[in-house]
Structure 1
């Protein structure tokens, strides 16, 4: 997508939207959300979605989804105290990896404030070698993609 197309994304372009609330400690010395907070919100939204979709026990699973790549394009500032919407969609399902797009929105505004990219690679907990995406995860995410 182009920068202009990225800025035109709405919540409707995503598979899942989660409402969160900012915290006092999320602000930096400039009075807006610290950049690291965006990544915390992205990570939490993806994992909450996977857990609510039915990925049984991520802490006890024999496979782990680890972050292999991440990035963020910032379009407008966000600050405390604000409710935010964190939106997630599957961009690509590979053999052992999933690429997500993440939108961050002020809950009271329609325009996107930030667009994230997140790549999970599934690995074996013991050997740390790449493994296929667990069938339950693949099935659930394929259903989300098909429902668009």
Structure 2
């Protein structure tokens, strides 16, 4: 898995798919920036939008994607009001799990992303909870989104 901090210099162009989102007043915390939990909620919403729009509503799939792991690295503050984009690539596509590499940035930014995330879904049988194969229709959508991590020099690195 790519270390999230290594994505500090990545841009939205380094991700295979993207969706736009606007921040809400309620997303800001007491310090005037997006609360850390909002980043994870935006990543979750982007993944589910991809599944919903390209395959089927997630609740209609024959297997249920459950979150096994998630994480975020924060590089720059974001807040309200802002127009943002979530970038998404598939880092690993297994038989029953998928690892997403995610980014959050200002929608029209050409520069480095503001945050990077990873998210692992394990697909399980709804009746038994046992891991099962990723649904074929979903796999067909995810395969073209598999990307190697961007190889960029970090402009903030010393040395």
Could you report, residue by residue, the CA deviation over 1:100-145 in whole angstroms, capped at 9, with x for unpaired residues?
A: 0000002243221000000000001110000011111111111333
Could you report, residue by residue, the CA deviation over 1:63-103 in whole angstroms, capped at 9, with x for unpaired residues?
A: 10111000000001001000011111000001100000000
1:83: which partner in 2? 83
- Kept after mapping to 1: 8 A contact 2:28/2:80: yes
2:154: which partner in 1? none
Whole-angstrom CA distance in 1 between matches of 2:141 and 2:94: 14
Structure 1, 26-35 or 102-111: larger mean CA deviation: 102-111
Whole-angstrom CA distance in 2 between matches of 1:143 and 1:111: 24
Q: Structure 1: any 5+ residue segments left out of the alignment? A: none
* TM-score, L = length of structure 2: 0.85
1:137: which partner in 2? 138
Q: Structure 2: any 5+ residue segments left out of the alignment? A: 148-159
Residue 3 of structure 1, CA deviation: 6.6
Which structure 1 residue ranges, 4+ long, deviate > 6 Å from structure 2?
none
Q: Helix, strand or coil for the counterpart of 1:132?
A: coil
Whole-angstrom CA distance in 2 between matches of 1:32 and 1:130: 38
1:1-148 to 2 correspondences below 5 Å: 1=2, 5-53=6-54, 55-109=55-109, 110-145=111-146
* TM-score, L = length of structure 1: 0.91
Q: Helix, strand or coil for the counterpart of 2:146?
A: helix
Residue 59 of structure 1, CA deviation: 1.4
Residue 57 of structure 1, CA deviation: 3.4
> Relative to structure 1, is the Cα distance of residues 2 and 101 closer, same or farther in structure 2, using a 3 angstrom cutoff?
closer
Q: Per residue, is there more strand in 1 or in 2?
A: 1
> Which structure would you say has the larger RCO, counting Cα contacts within 8 Å and 6 or more residues apart?
2
Aligned pair count reads 145
Residue 62 of structure 1, CA deviation: 2.9
